[in-house]
């Protein structure tokens, strides 16, 4: 079932408490980084990449921060914040090389809150570079199947679906699910050339943005 997508109201997002701007350079961003297992691993394996790891839950953020102090990766910046307002206020258009959304809450009682069903996903795409990717992983087959349909029918984005190897250990959830023998899958979503959104000119910390209230299906140039 294809969910109707409303227009995201970026101008209504307040900056997170103790918010600080980041440098306007290319970055990778993990949303819902948990205790930071993937963030710490990625930043170690990719020292040339700058990774920002966002976690809303204080306990998990503190665990990530503590381990980061021990390991000391200079290319990793843990952030304690709600991802949506932080992304709106911190990131420039086309700044992000990669987004990682690994094993998000499947929102079984509120499907409108799943990532590809949210109006915010359009804003997320505006922050992604041309050729940049979004990695969405889940152990729930229905979640992946619905996301595929949204990519085809709403967002019109190319993607690759992969089965995650049983030896993968990027997050604590991934380890647990694979040890149980569950099927874990991921979608690698790519932003093509000439893909545009209504937020491509939205700049952080501006008081307002001018957007037209027209249906999503007609106001996105999807590079086709």
pLDDT at 139: 98
pLDDT at 4: 54
Name, in order, each residue with C-beta under 8 angstroms of 197's C-beta and a sequence gap of 6 or more: 122, 123, 125, 126, 220
CATH fold of 24-195: Rossmann fold (3.40.50)
pLDDT at 8: 84
Enter the pTM of the model. 0.88
pLDDT in tens, 71-121: 999 999 999 999 999 999 999 999 999 999 999 999 999 998 999 999 999
pLDDT at 215: 37
Q: Where are the alpha helices (DSSP H) in the chain?
A: 37-45, 58-71, 83-90, 120-127, 141-150, 172-179, 216-219
> CA 94 → CA 99, 119, 187, distances in Å?
12, 18, 20
3-class DSSP assignment, residue 148: helix
pLDDT at 125: 97
Any idea which residue has 């152990």 for tokens?
Answer: 139
pLDDT at 113: 92
Question: What number of residues does the chain have?
Answer: 224
Residues (pLDDT < 50) of the chain are 1-3, 206-219, 221-224
């Amino acid at each position: 079932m294809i969910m109707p997508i409303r227009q995201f109201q970026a101008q209504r997002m307040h900056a997170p408490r103790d918010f600080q701007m980041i440098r306007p350079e290319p970055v990778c961003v993990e949303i819902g980084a948990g205790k930071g297992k993937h963030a710490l691993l990625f930043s170690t394996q990719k020292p040339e990449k700058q990774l920002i790891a966002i976690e809303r839950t204080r306990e998990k953020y503190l665990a990530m921060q503590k381990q980061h102090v021990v390991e000391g990766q200079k290319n990793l910046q843990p952030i304690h914040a709600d991802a949506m307002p932080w992304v709106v206020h911190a990131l420039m258009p086309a700044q992000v090389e990669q987004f990682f959304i690994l094993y998000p809450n499947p929102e079984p009682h509120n499907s409108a809150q799943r990532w590809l069903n949210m109006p915010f996903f359009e804003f997320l795409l505006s922050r992604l570079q041309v050729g940049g990717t979004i990695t969405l992983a889940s152990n729930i087959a229905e979640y992946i199947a619905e996301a595929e349909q949204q990519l085809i029918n709403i967002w019109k984005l190319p993607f690759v679906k992969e089965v995650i190897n049983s030896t993968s250990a990027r997050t604590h959830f991934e380890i647990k699910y694979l040890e149980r023998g569950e099927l874990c899958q991921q979608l690698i979503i790519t932003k093509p050339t000439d893909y545009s959104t209504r937020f491509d000119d939205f700049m952080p910390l501006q008081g307002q943005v001018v957007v037209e209230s027209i249906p999503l299906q007609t106001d996105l140039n999807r590079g086709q």
